[in-house]
Structure 1
Amino acid sequence: MSPNSSATEAPTPPITPEKFTESDFQKGVPRAIPSILELKKALPAHCFQPDLTTSFYYAFKDLALVAGLYIIMLAMELQPYTLLKWAYIPIYWYVSGTLMASIFIVGHDCGHESFSNNSLINDIVGNFMHTIILVPYYPWKLSHRHHHKNTGNIDKDEVFYPVREQHRNKDSELMIPYFGLGIGWIFYMFKGYSPRTINHFNPFNHLFIKHSVNCIISMACLTAWMGLVVIPYGSAYGFSRLAIHYLMPVFGFMCWIVFITFLHHHDENVPWYGDEKWDFVRGQLSSVDRNYGWAHDVLHNIGTHQIHHLFSKVPHYHLEEATKVFRERYPELVRKSDERLIPAFIRIFHMFMDQVWIPDDAQVHSYTLSKKSL
């Protein structure tokens, strides 16, 4: 259980948007919806307040669990039963990779200033948590904020957005099946998502230029981690053990991030808006809530994505409570799916690839389940 013990506040009367139905919302109809201030007033005020003790509890818990799995891996290598040792390896990769995704999400909270109310603490913890899983914290923080400021915007969002025909070319049509999962994350880190390219390892990229010093600090952290820990570990114990102990779990985390990011912003009838039709609330509401089963709590409730996008400063340990209130008061705005995750990912990927190219003048685009994408 979380050590958080905030008291529940008195409920606020629901605010109902006029002349707006669930059907309208699902189809992306540009009708009046509540303002961001109205939505915020409907949620308990304490949900917006991080608690430093609680935040550090989750950070240390995630690190301890990863360390524990690693120690078990070392113990397995010492025992004589080869079959048992090899049976543990894929379990280790999967569970440790999932926990590394949870480490990423703690750093993600730091990037949103929801880990604490102190920016320096956020950046120190964020740099540490992201460095150990090979993520340049500050450049990612900036590109991710850009994503949050433009969620659901065809012309400005950061990744997996529909692409206008004018940007279509042979290179952009090349797509590894299912993004290659973790391979897709690596490409995104170095190249971004075409046609709006970005290199997260270049502190002088146009998106980072005003924050180059902070980006250089994050790059220095990565360089130090690689030079003082990762490379010496490989030199001492061999590349195969480095891959088994560390690189494969990191790749597992990368797979999770592609999986999560794609599923939270795509499904049948989820609208994307051209810049002329887009506004902040409508764009954030185009996010999709999903439940990750056994991993839902492990991944710090990141599946409660609508509230996270509407209010990114809500700490992860308050997302479930805030989501419950939001769903009770605005049922017509809720967008969630209980579909099994892997079938959903396969289905939506094919639908995405079938319909990702859109007319240059499109102002609202929703994916539909065509025969070709079945």
Structure 2
Amino acid sequence: MTTNGRTQEPTSFPTLIQIKAVIPTYLFETNLALSLYYVIKDILLMFVLYAALLILESMLPASFMCVIFPVYWYLQGTMLMAVFVLGHDCCHGSFSKYETINDVFGTILHSMVLTPYYPWKISHRNHHKNTGNIDKDEVFYPVRERNDNGNNFAFLFGLGIGWFVYLWRGYHPRNVCHLNPLESMFCNHVTGCTLSIASLIGWVGCLYYYACSVGLWGLLKYYVIPELVFASWLLTVTFLHHIEEETPWYSDDNWNYVKGALSSVDRDYGWAHDVIHNIGTHQIHHLFSRIPHYNLEDATRHFRKNFPELSRYRNDKIFPTLLRLYKKFSSQFRIRNETSFHVYT
């Protein structure tokens, strides 16, 4: 296989209990104070970036700002991705041990990045329950009845726009609208989904009043473009953690939780790896989603030490990897045998 540290698919897998036994129990513990520290830190950094941009904009000629703005968009979009990951911790109960606190902060944080928290929480948990299962997973699975996956989305998933398309209509053929609390997937969570959607509408109202103050161009350059950068980050991360050459997909009759979780791929995001809260340590996150983001690296070290043959990680540069795998994904998947699926050119 091309994945670092592995030569072939294992013929047997340990149980989840056996894997959990090699990870110190303290790494599973949540710390509300520490989680709040990261929330405050990230929001302060976002305000610092915004304030610095306003100062530079008042001091420098427009020709200089043509260089400054792309830097701001990239950095602020990365910070929005960090905020999303903190909300993602809330979704999994790794933000705190209190479900109400998790849902309140998750709703606030995800509204800031135009994501309906509770509906996404339900669909994302479905992804975790079915990772690597071609018949039940949420997104970026090979579509059985079509070879050409590329017809389902624009180049590189619409450079972020694809995230909002997914929220609106799901991923073919398992379609779901995250803005409709009456979807069958959400039937037992109508209240939570409705409150999250109401919070999102409230945030859009705040953006409207902000646009009234700074103008449409101000809204675009200060918020909308960084939001698209965030969405591009999110699509890239989601895609690269579950797609790689020789990475298996399993049909439902040959899938189990451990095999599916171990089909995900760890990746390193360079300077941004810590900024976006170690979400690249994805195998251990899928095995034990209750581990807080600040303990993922340590837990991963214990896992790799004890199960090197199961570790699936890549250190390739992210953008060239995205281009390489997008090309493969948008061409076709071929079935290797009756029960497992691999990406082939």
Give me the TM-score of the superposition, normalised by structure 2: 0.95
Q: 1:193 aligns with which of 171, 194, 197?
A: 171
1:46 aligns with 2:22: no
Helix, strand or coil: the match of 2:249? strand
Among residues 117, 121, 130, which one is paired with 1:150 in the alignment? 130
2:260 corresponds to which residue? Answer: 283
2:232 maps to what in 1?
Answer: 255
2:67 is matched with 87
CA change 1:131–1:174 in 2 (3 A) is closer
Q: Give the match for residue 230 of structure 1.
A: 207
Question: In structure 2, what residue type is equivalent to 1:97?
Answer: G
Aligned mates of 1:55, 1:316 — CA distance in 2: 9
What letter is aligned with 2:224? L
Matched, 1:177 2:155: yes
1:175 positional shift: 2.9
Work out which of the residue numbers 317, 329, 341 in structure 1 matches 2:294: 317
Distance in structure 2 (CA, Å) of the matches to 1:169 and 1:240: 41
- Aligned residue-pair number: 341
SS at match of 1:365: strand
Structure 1 counterpart of 2:341, which letter? Answer: H
Name the amino acid aligned to 1:220: A
Percent identity over paired residues: 45
Classify the secondary structure of the residue corresponding to 2:184. Answer: coil
**TM-aligned CA deviation for residue 178 of structure 1:** 1.5
Distance in 1 separating the partners of 2:150 and 2:300: 37
SS state at 1:298 partner: coil
User: What secondary structure, in the 3-state scheme, does the structure 2 residue paired with 1:267 have?
Assistant: coil
Name the residue aligned to 1:100. 80
Following superposition, the deviation at residue 237 of structure 1 comes to: 1.8
1:162–1:358 Cα contact (<8 Å) kept: no
1:163 partner SS: coil
Cα offsets for 1:13-32 (capped at 9, x unmatched): xxxxxxxx95442xxx6x32
Tell me, which stretches of 5 or more residues in structure 1 are unaligned?
A: 1-20
- Report whether the alignment pairs 1:217 with 2:195: yes
SS of 1:303's equivalent in the other structure is coil
**Which of these residues, 56, 65, 68, is aligned with residue 76 of structure 1?**
56
Per the TM alignment, residue 126 of structure 1 is displaced from its structure 2 partner at its CA by 0.5
Larger Rg: 1 or 2? 1
Alignment RMSD (CA, Å): 1.8
- Residue 351 of structure 1: CA displacement? 1.1
State whether structure 2 residue 335 is matched by structure 1 residue 335: no
* Structure 1 residue 84: Cα displacement: 2.6
| Secondary structure in 2 matching 1:354 | coil
Shift of 1:186: 1.2
What's the counterpart of residue 9 of structure 1?
none
Distance 1:82 1:155, change over 3 A: same
Deviation of 1:76 after TM superposition, in Å, equals 2.0
The alpha carbon displacement at 1:280 in A equals: 0.2
Q: Aligned partner of 2:312: which letter?
A: R
Decide which moves more: 182-191 or 285-294.
182-191
- Structure 2 gaps of 5+ residues are none
> Quick one: which amino acid aligns to residue 159 of structure 2?
L
* Offset, 1:83: 2.5
1:172 shift after superposition: 8.0
Q: Structure 1, residues 234-274: CA drift from partner, whole Å, max 9, x if none?
A: 12221100000111111110000000000000101000000
Indicate if the aligned counterparts of 2:150 and 2:330 stay in contact, CA closer than 8 A.
no
Say which SS state the counterpart of residue 197 (structure 1) adopts: coil
Secondary structure of the 1:349 match is helix
In the other structure, the counterpart of 2:285 is: 308
Q: How does 1:121-136 map to 2 (within 5 A)?
A: 121-136=101-116
Q: For residue 357 of structure 1, report the CA deviation from its aligned partner.
A: 6.5
Contact in 1 for aligned 2:79/2:276 (Cα 8 Å): yes
* CA deviation map 1:112-169 (0-9, x unaligned): 000000001101110111111111000011100000000000000000001112xx39
**C-alpha offsets along residues 285-330 of structure 1, whole Å, 9 cap, x if unaligned?**
0000000000000010000000000000000000000001101110
